[in-house]
Chain A
Amino acid sequence: MLGCEAMVKCLENEGVKHIFGYPGAVICPFFDSLLDSDIETVLVRTEQNAAHAASGYARINGGVGVCVATSGPGALNLLTGIATAFADSIPLVCITGQVESEQIGSDVFQEADVTGAAESFVKYSYYVTDAREIPRIMKEAFYIAGSGRRGPVLIDIPVDVQNTEIGDIEYPEKVQLRTYKPTISGHAVQIKKVAGVFSKAKRPLIYAGGGVHLAGAVSHLRDFAEKNGIPVVSTMMGLSVMPSDSPLFFGMVGNNGVPWANKAVAESDLIMMIGARAADRAVSQPEIMADGKTLIHIDADTAEIGKNAVPTIPLVGDAKKILKQMAGEDIKVPDTSEWLRTLEGYRESMGRKREKNKDYVDAAEFLELLTSCMKEKSIITVDVGQNQIWACNHAKVKEGTRFLTSGGMGTMGYSLPAAIGARKASSGRQIVSICGDGAFHMCMCELSTMMQTKAPVKVVVLNNTRLGMVREYQHYHYHDRLSAVELSGGPDIGKLAEAYGIRYLKLENMDGARGAVDEFLAGNDAAIMECILDPEALV
């Protein structure tokens, strides 16, 4: 067996069904071996999107996503996608071809030091020098990516190593890593303390982050919140941890969140932060998280605890396991109905009285309408920019629906490739991808991948012919001195859709929006809906 065949065999052993990639000369041995496997290859149109698609895939399927690229430019194009996954702790195994081992360091064609370049945003990386190590490395890579605090693992493998004969391989059953033993169970003493503080809390609050999704702990968290009547707020990455209409859910925190969620954080006397890191955009002053209140911080990563906010009770471990441990404790939270009524009051009184735009599509109103018309258990992928903030605060997330976006890195162009990846991990779930025209330009080459893979993604383009978020920033911070934010060079999205053979709808204002949305969402085909926005609209 050759090294490249061993790589494919290892992927099969890991249960991989789909990979996302783009070939080139020095990864050709691996792509050749894929032909003898049932693993389906999704050919993206640029490597960055292979990582985003693998991210969308991993987030829906709950496992590890795999993306592949060639050396040099291929690997370098992948980097932004890897960094995006790292910032949001998405488990990926990223495989890159490398030039011949003998030629390393001599600046031959398409040689780049990708493990060096990626070092600060991978969970771990391997440069493979001995093909006999492939089974061990692949086993470790999947384990490292998908355990503890999840993240991308990079495997850089020279073409000659892929072509080395290594005989029969045995895929290891277990990893043996003396340097890596993620904590799964929460410390029993700390769990008892948690139970103790909850029984004294008057205004408890759950602050849920993306780690809850990553640990597959959504239902456990909901059970805990519902059993004890505890309100929940979420970070951007935590969105869809509860459906929007849950009486216990009070929206997204942070400078782009809703005021009543921030008010809930400020006024609570006990916060249970779970799978979140009190990041700068979520909490502008992390010290208020602990000021005069009890802060429980549950996280897979010891280094996150105390990094931004110092908790009263630190609890390292897997969110699902810890919630299960807590379910075994006799936790009696005092009646929270008055606290919930207070929060409901805030939600009603603090809601911004928005003036609806009549001349253009009102983005907030449109996204509320669109998502209300979507099915349960659907998938919403959202890009970066104004569209993201509108979607975070106005989308109606229904029962079982997942909301996917690039939070930590804020990488434009994430939504469409993530939707294509998500589609491969889910059959039959409705998928809507929402982006602005700026982000659309960054990922529209993937419309071709979408059509090739017959992914029935409904693509919404909120078109204000501007980089709206930057324009808004320049409006507030540069007194409307607008620099490099106009996107007036087209294309005509209708004609573009026609060129790809994609069904196209256009909405110029909110008249007839309901009918248009119904038509857009109907049918199991891909479609693009272009919404014309006020170029001066603010979030």
Chain B
Amino acid sequence: MKRIYSISVENRSGVLAKIASLFRRRAFNIDSLVVGETGEPGVSSMTIVSSGDEHTLTQIEKQLNKKLDIIKVRTFAENESVNCELMLVKVHYSQNTRHEIMDVCTIMDAKIVDMSKSQMIIQMCDSPDRTSLLIHMLQPVGIIEVARTGMLALPRCFN
């Protein structure tokens, strides 16, 4: 079971280490972790995706809430939030595969952001399921390397 922890933290030195240390010390998983600024000065946001059984996932929330640098912890399942990650994929291409790659990019709503005579970089910003799907689709043409940011999430709008 996966859960997303959207955390606002005091922007102080060592905060990332303190939170990472909590996950290590209690043997919690980190599937992905994204840190960035928020609209509020002095407050950073972290989006951590973790997996485990219900007891572990509840303990993570409780233990996070005990950390004195954490202002607020929100948790949600993947279907309760809008999730996206940014991915860059560098692939080989040839005359034979160029059109196929471009088709995949059109279907998947991905963008070619750099290219040379034999390589191109494709950028995609979408849900982790769809970014994974793009990797799967591009595997036959020859992926050189992949960089993914990890998931960002905000709870869905209501009312």
Contacts and interface: CB of A to CB of B under 8 A. Distances in A.
Tell me the interface secondary structure of chain B in the complex.
helix
B68 A124 contact: yes
Contacts of B70: 179
Contacts of B58: 306
Contact of A302 (B17, B65, B69): B65
Interface string A172-214: 0000011110000000000000000000000000000000000
A22 B69 CA distance: 30
Interface residues of B, number: 19
A242 interface: no
Interface string B47-73: 000000000001100110111111100
Contacts of A116: 14, 17
Interface of B: 10, 13-14, 17-18, 21-22, 25, 58-59, 62-63, 65-71
12 contacts: A119-B18, A119-B21, A120-B25, A144-B68, A179-B67, A179-B68, A179-B69, A179-B70, A301-B66, A302-B62, A302-B65, A303-B62
B68 A303 contact: no
Contacts, number: 35
Nearest to A151: B66
A465 interface: no
Interface of A: 115-116, 119-120, 123-124, 127, 144, 177-180, 301-303, 306-307
A127 B71 contact: no
**CB-based closest 6 A-B pairs:** A303-B62, A120-B25, A124-B68, A119-B21, A180-B68, A179-B68
Given A123-B68, A127-B13, 7 more contacts: A116-B14, A119-B21, A178-B71, A179-B69, A302-B62, A302-B66, A303-B65
B63 A303 contact: yes
Nearest to A177: B68
Contacts of A127: 13-14
Which one of A116, A119, A306 has the greatest number of beta carbons of chain B within 10 Å?
A: A119
Contact of B59 (A115, A178, A307): A307
B53 to A, nearest CB: 13
A307 B55 CA distance: 8
Contacts of A124: 68
Contacts of B18: 119
A115 B25 contact: no
